[in-house]
Structure 1
Amino acid sequence: MTTILMGYNQALLSSAQLFIREDLGLSDAQIEVLAGSINVFMLASILAAGWAADVLARRGTLVLANVSLMAGELANGARRQLPRAHARAMLFTSVYNAEISPPSMRGFLSSFLDMFISVGLLLSYVSNYAFAGFCGVLAMPESPRWLVMCGRHAEARAEIKQQANADDGGGGSVWKELLVRPSASVRRILICVVGVHFFQQASGIDAIVLYSPLVFRQAGMLSNMAALGATVGVGVVKMCFVLVAALFSDSLGRRPLLLTSAAGVVASMAALGAALSSAGSAASVAATVASVLAFMAAFSVGLGPLAGTYNAEVMPLRLRAQGTSLGMVVNRLTSALVSMTFISLADAITMPGCFFLYAGVAAAACVFVYARMPETRGRSLEDMDELFAK
């Protein structure tokens, strides 16, 4: 439910902005600020959530996030609560899931987080009816690795006690170990975590999620209803292809799916730019819709679900909460940059130019994944230090 609500609220503005623009007379700059400001509001909460996850435990932090989400929805308009709740939810659904999943199924189970976000996106596209809930999280077991880290050995899985205790014995400041004096393996892990989160957002996902109705109108669709109807197809495709990632991430591995995803984003973004370059005809409208759907399929098979999976599984236990926070800060800052500049950038270099630019970023992502990100499929969380020390 946590991730469904995240997706629902993320996409709510996509449809609403068409009517906000008409009813309130907001300028393009104001629409951009409105679309991107939620990411800025998240930042303080993201950094604090790393501390909260170690003090309140993984499950306790999820409960807090769900309470905030429900309170924000019930307030129906007091939106200031939602960015903080989304930040906590985005961080520790992935951490919790990685820590409780066996290596052979970790990719499959972690990918379902993005599946539920996609369900939320689809619900938001289909209707504006909001719902919230949090009681289910109270029945969840606590992360066994967190239990071991706190000394509650009798409640944790026996096979991870020894390494988890060793991880907990490092001492010193977590942030100092992350940022001031990182070891060679931690430095390499940080590069991968920061890079994959940057490329996930810089490849243009929020330009599609938030502004797809505007893109469809630019292509030549004549009504808001037609543009909003096309966004339903975007939500359906996203949900279906996240399932593909869930089914194959443990058998094929993270790297093949990430590389395939990034290559698909390059091709679909370039096709979208080309389609918009000849906007106005029925053929260009069809090509635009097909390109957006192809982008969403390519993104959802790798970059979408696996960035969070990779982040949560490669960080050492002693650094996992704060390291995940750091990766999410980069994610949200990049998301804010894309969502708060898309319309202005389209005015400066044209909308086709925007999508050609995102295609170039995705090409750089291909190179980054190939050169910097080792395969993690089938490895235990305790083996990651050794993997990144090579």
Structure 2
Amino acid sequence: MLLGYDVGVMSGAIIFIQEDLKITEVQEEVLMGILSIISLFGSLAGGKTSDAIGRKWTIAFAAIVFQAGAAIMALAPSFSFLILGRLLSGVGVGFGVMIAPVYIAEISPPASRGSLTSFPEISINFGILLGYISNYVFSGLPVHISWRVMLGVGIIPSVLLGFTLLRIPESPRWLVMQNRLEEARIVLLKTNEMGMDVEQRLMDIQKAAAIGSANKYESKGVWHDILSPTPTVKRMLIAGCGIQCFQQITGIDATVYYSPTIFKEAGIQSNSKLLAATVAVGFTKTMFILVAIFLIDRVGRKPLLYLSTVGMTACLFCLSMTLGVLDHGEFGIVLAMLAVCGNVAFFSVGIGPVCWVLSSEIFPLRLRAQASALGAVGSRVSSGLITMSFLSVSHTITVAGTFFVFSLISLVSVVFVHKCIPETKGKSLEQIEMVFQKGGGEQKVGMVEMGDMERLVQEQDLTLTHT
């Protein structure tokens, strides 16, 4: 929610920051994009930190750093202080986007892991919507106060997070890595509907942890395996890091950050109408993420990715044609709004939440934190580069031309999903590793699923015979 609020609120606050602090367009691009770029340091440090102090307290650290940055931005007397606050917030974001999906994936039962691991994306979307609403509500205040209030309101969620951290347990897989087996068993008992599965799950986690015991989870050994990967790990890295990058280079953050610019290009002029239009985008983005949560463990990850990438390609192309061909009349404005809302809707149905699910569940336990961090780095750097160059590129090839490029990239993402992403629905984290060992292809995935089914049937027969 903290990340989403920052993304949403900056799209409107920047209008008033420009007027109050008289920043240039280049400074605007830097202010927008620097958060994503600097977050790579948080993501890179997040893996080692979460292995050292635990998943739970890494989340707490991320929130503290982020909120320190938000406070500095809200009180900033100049552009330099705004950048300082943005840098701190970026480090917090890097920690947060890396650790939250990992924590949820490690604590969730296989049957509901997809839905639960999508919760970060729900919260990001809800935060974006709150940011848009905040822009609209506080836009009537004096210019030098409005943007400070908009940014300052983002500090409130940290209070809620503080109370939450007093209640949530540590990841059972991290506890196993620390040889705290009894604590891990207690957490599994609390988070599994069927108590009889707990001992088997604990044994599976111990086996997965034992694979890397020779390296004792030292960062050097883990990064060696990532930078010099086996064919299995290489396939995992291509899938996990690739989907993270495609999530951003298709232009979603540019659409969210610069939605007022897009609607202004379409023909809307007044600030209040621009901010009201962005609220519609935020509402659409939030509503459709709920659709994804309902479907992700029912229809699977890959069908949603197909629907999402194909739909985004069509909407981005439509937006490009609308801005480039139609005039600034009412019909063009409506069509542009429908294209933008359609793009964020298809994003939220598929690649938005599924990206985080896949990147947190496909890596083996020993590599999970660092590999997820690497994927988060790819995502944040891609986001930063797109955000920091959007205005400059738009001046060169027009806003319409920029979104035509995004539509071509989105078309490539359809091919990537087909070639590189296996289905992981309903599998334990340990079974998913077997899928990539088999090659990750559609036929191999089916063979693994059949093997899993045969094993389950045999276990059922043995149980009935024993009974």
Q: TM-score, normalised by structure 2?
A: 0.80
Q: CA deviation at 1:74?
A: 4.3
**Which of the residues 60, 64, 74 maps onto 1:63?**
60
CA distance in 1 between counterparts of 2:70 and 2:318 reads 38
Report the counterpart of residue 42 of structure 1 in structure 2.
Answer: 39
Pair 1:229 & 2:257 matched:
no
Q: CA deviation at 1:84?
A: 1.4
> What is the one-letter code of the residue matched to 2:2?
L
CA distance in 1 between counterparts of 2:430 and 2:397 reads 47
CA distance in 2 between counterparts of 1:74 and 1:210 reads 20
Task: Give secondary structure in 1 for the equivalent of 2:166.
Answer: helix
Q: C-alpha offsets along residues 335-380 of structure 1, whole Å, 9 cap, x if unaligned?
A: 0111011111111111111111101111100000011100000000
Q: CA deviation at 1:282?
A: 1.1
The answer on whether the counterparts of 1:110 and 1:246 sit within 8 Å (CA) in structure 2 is: no
Pair 1:97 & 2:104 matched:
yes
Q: CA deviation at 1:70?
A: 3.6
Higher relative contact order (CA 8 A, sep 6+): 1
Q: C-alpha offsets along residues 128-156 of structure 1, whole Å, 9 cap, x if unaligned?
A: 23323232122101111111111111122
Report the counterpart of residue 93 of structure 2 in structure 1.
Answer: 86
Q: CA deviation at 1:28?
A: 2.3
Q: Which moved more, 1:26-35 or 1:350-359?
A: 26-35
Report the counterpart of residue 386 of structure 2 in structure 1.
Answer: 338
The answer on whether the counterparts of 1:14 and 1:211 sit within 8 Å (CA) in structure 2 is: yes
Report the counterpart of residue 202 of structure 2 in structure 1.
Answer: 161
Q: Which moved more, 1:195-204 or 1:279-288?
A: 279-288
CA distance in 1 between counterparts of 2:316 and 2:37 reads 26
Task: Give secondary structure in 2 for the equivalent of 1:209.
Answer: helix
Q: CA deviation at 1:26?
A: 2.7
Pair 1:25 & 2:25 matched:
no
> What is the one-letter code of the residue matched to 1:361?
I
The answer on whether the counterparts of 1:112 and 1:242 sit within 8 Å (CA) in structure 2 is: no
Pair 1:147 & 2:175 matched:
yes
**Which of the residues 262, 266, 269 maps onto 1:215?**
262
Report the counterpart of residue 387 of structure 1 in structure 2.
Answer: 435
CA distance in 2 between counterparts of 1:346 and 1:73 reads 29
CA distance in 2 between counterparts of 1:71 and 1:43 reads 18
Report the counterpart of residue 309 of structure 1 in structure 2.
Answer: 357
Identity %: 38
**What is the CA RMSD across the aligned residues, in angstroms?**
1.4
Q: 1:387 to 1:161 in 2, by over 3 A?
A: same
Report the counterpart of residue 378 of structure 1 in structure 2.
Answer: 426
Q: C-alpha offsets along residues 252-303 of structure 1, whole Å, 9 cap, x if unaligned?
A: 0000001100001001001101111124111111111111000010000011
CA distance in 2 between counterparts of 1:81 and 1:198 reads 23
Q: TM-score, normalised by structure 1?
A: 0.96
Q: CA deviation at 1:167?
A: 2.8
> What is the one-letter code of the residue matched to 2:133?
V
The answer on whether the counterparts of 1:112 and 1:243 sit within 8 Å (CA) in structure 2 is: no
CA distance in 1 between counterparts of 2:433 and 2:39 reads 30
The answer on whether the counterparts of 1:93 and 1:113 sit within 8 Å (CA) in structure 2 is: yes
Report the counterpart of residue 50 of structure 2 in structure 1.
Answer: 53
Pair 1:199 & 2:255 matched:
no
Structure 1 regions of 5+ residues with no counterpart?
A: none
CA distance in 2 between counterparts of 1:251 and 1:167 reads 27
Pair 1:320 & 2:368 matched:
yes
Structure 2 regions of 5+ residues with no counterpart?
A: 76-83, 135-149, 189-198, 216-220, 439-467
CA distance in 1 between counterparts of 2:254 and 2:230 reads 37
Task: Give secondary structure in 1 for the equivalent of 2:426.
Answer: coil
Q: C-alpha offsets along residues 54-107 of structure 1, whole Å, 9 cap, x if unaligned?
A: 011111111212222343444544624311111111111100111111111111
